[in-house]
Amino acid sequence: MKLPRYTRTLKGNLYYQRDIPTRLKHLTSKKTFTYPLSLKAVTASESAIVKAHSIATDAYTLHCRMLEESNPEAFSSEDLEKAAIEVLRKMTMQSFMCDSRAETDIACLKNKQKAGVSLSFEEKAKLVAYENLWSVSNRKRETLSALWGEYASYKGIGQDTRASRRRKTRWLRWLAIVGDQQIAPNTINIIHKALDRHVAERLEVIKASSVKREINDIMAILRHANQQHRYGWVLQPPRLPKCRSITKQVLTHDEQRRLVTFCLANTDDPVAICVLLQFQGAMMPSEVARLTERDLALDALIPHVTVSGETKTTARKRVIPVVIGADAIAGGLPVTIAWLQGTTDSNHSHRIKRLLHVATGNSRLTGHCLRHTFKANCIANGADTNSAAAIAGWSGSTLGISAEMLSYGSEGLSNSDVLAGLMQESLKIHGHLAEHVCAG
């Protein structure tokens, strides 16, 4: 391959070498301009040589202009950036930042600038080069440990909830494996190895389904960072063994009767009020805790509550007809909400579990069993699956309870045909509890 003009080979490397014009030779001690192309003669492609040659030619042209032109105003800002790059090329970052002479020169240039003395073009280029290097050397490189804080801030995750502490613990457990790495080009490989190791270690102590939940939280944080900072990672979640389906614990019809009877006999207990709502609306305690006065319509023609606040998914925003103990719930709900907001997640879970045990005699029941029981009742009593999904907040319902409807609160829903239909389905779902069910 024939090399472009002014291109030379020296010890296997390519250089651009060109004489200074005769008219300018008296302005410089060097008669030849030399610019390394940073290419190997044997391996460089023709296109790479042409590109490097073009850059070197621009540098040569600017060098000649700097010799010939003394007025710094004759150069553009682009010329200044190119000149600064040339300064950096001739000096490494370390030598430029540590050389005492360079430090003294920069101090003198800054003093001249402060004093209002005009700087030459070469001096301006040197100052720009120094400022560019200074910003690079002081720029904080992102680390993996910082990603949790960014994610929590973006998602609005607080520090005082059980869920947030659990997610943070999962992240920190994985971070202990990978180490607090600075983000670099090879970080993606380190991430994937740490994910695989995390899975292998956790499978020894917990079920695959639990490991999957941990990995999902970790991957969510990594994906947010990848999108936020445009790292260009191609994140691949680790493979997990198939999770065996387990039989979900539900209350028998007899246990349900005993539970409802117990709760209606203890309406002064905030736990009982919470359980009544969980039982007939597949509600989570956190959803009950976020109910406001605007969400309550327990004295309406069709008693109901509206779940319109923060929810796990959009489908969880819903309207729940109250067919069991509407008056009792209306009287005890303010105290219940205050109790839920004033206690920890672990405490109210423990209190609910204890009430279920006392009421039914079954020590294996937990609050989440009430949500499973609601679904079992829907199936057993032949309820419309679309309506059941709307009441419980499962995805897939097409009843048309839109965000606009929810925003109107009880006034916009009380006379709704949709709400009337949901009431009829709720009566069917709890038909085996006829002695406790009231149409409102």
Residues 354 and 287 in one domain: yes
d(CA 270, CA 332) in angstroms, rounded, equals 7
pLDDT tens digits for range 2-37 = 888 999 999 889 999 999 999 988 888 889 999 988
Q: By the 8 A CB rule, do 306 and 409 touch? A: yes
Mean pLDDT of 130-154: 73
pLDDT tens digits for range 225-278 = 999 988 889 999 999 888 666 677 899 999 999 999 999 999 999 999 999 999
d(CA 251, CA 377) in angstroms, rounded, equals 10
| Residue 234 structure tokens | 């191609």
What is the chain's mean pLDDT, rounded? 84
pLDDT tens digits for range 336-375 = 999 999 888 888 899 999 999 999 999 999 999 999 999 9
Residues 274 and 422 in one domain: yes
d(CA 142, CA 150) in angstroms, rounded, equals 11
What's phi and psi for 357, nearest 5 deg?
Answer: -65, -45
pLDDT of residue 340: 93
Start-to-end CA distance of the chain, whole Å, equals 92
Residues 173 and 289 in one domain: no
| Residue 298 structure tokens | 């327990």
Residues 202 and 307 in one domain: no
Q: Given pLDDT bands bounded at 50, 70 and 90, which one contains residue 139?
A: very low
Distances (CA, A) of 371 to 46, 278, 281, 412: 69, 7, 8, 27
Spell out the alpha helix ranges (H) of 156-250.
162-178, 187-202, 208-229
Element (H, E) at 15: strand 13-19
Residues 109 and 223 in one domain: no
| pLDDT tops 80 at residue 440 | no
Query: 156, exposed or middle or buried, with CB in 10 Å at 0-12, 13-18, 19+?
Result: exposed
Nearest to 155 by CA among 205, 227, 254: 227
pLDDT of residue 271: 96
Tell me, yes or no, if the pTM score tops 0.75. Answer: no
Q: Which of 118, 138, 158 is the last residue of a domain?
A: 138
**Any domain includes 2:** no
d(CA 330, CA 417) in angstroms, rounded, equals 23
Nearest to 424 by CA among 373, 384, 377: 384
| pLDDT tops 80 at residue 106 | no
Residues 190 and 69 in one domain: no
3-state SS class at 388: helix
CATH number at residue 425: 1.10.443
Higher pLDDT, 100 or 308: 308
Mean pLDDT of 66-93: 75
Q: By the 8 A CB rule, do 256 and 318 touch? A: no
Residues 113 and 33 in one domain: yes
pLDDT of residue 113: 78
Which residues neighbour 28 within 8 Å (Cβ) at sequence distance 6 or greater?
20, 67
Residues 408 and 262 in one domain: yes
pLDDT tens digits for range 284-324 = 998 999 999 888 999 888 999 998 866 556 657 888 999 99
Which residues neighbour 75 within 8 Å (Cβ) at sequence distance 6 or greater?
65, 69, 83, 121
